[in-house]
Amino acid sequence: MAQITKDMIISDIIAVDRGVIPILMQAGMHCIGCPSAQGESLAEAAFVHGMDADKLVEDINAYLAN
């Protein structure tokens, strides 16, 4: 089972399973396809968007576990 961390780059997270895209978008991270996603960690993006990175990691890993 794949697991992600908040230090992973967003594009790498999406490469693990494209099904995480709706989770990120539902959380308010609508710039999934923007150039920043190619080099920005989940923690960095969460900070910029005022999100809780730990909650996102929890949600994504719960999805991946299923």
Q: How far apart are CA 47 and CA 49, in angstroms?
A: 5
Q: In the prediction, which pLDDT does 49 show?
A: 87
Neighbours of 41 (CB within 10 A): 17
Q: What is the pTM of this model?
A: 0.88
Q: What is the pLDDT of residues 14-66, one digit of tens each?
A: 999 999 999 999 988 877 777 877 789 999 999 988 999 999 999 999 999 99
CA angle 5, 10, 12 (to 5 degrees): 80
Helices first, then strands: H and E counts in the chain: 4, 0
Spatial contact of 32 and 25, defined as CB atoms under 8 Å apart:
yes
Residue 64, token pair as written in the block: 């991946």
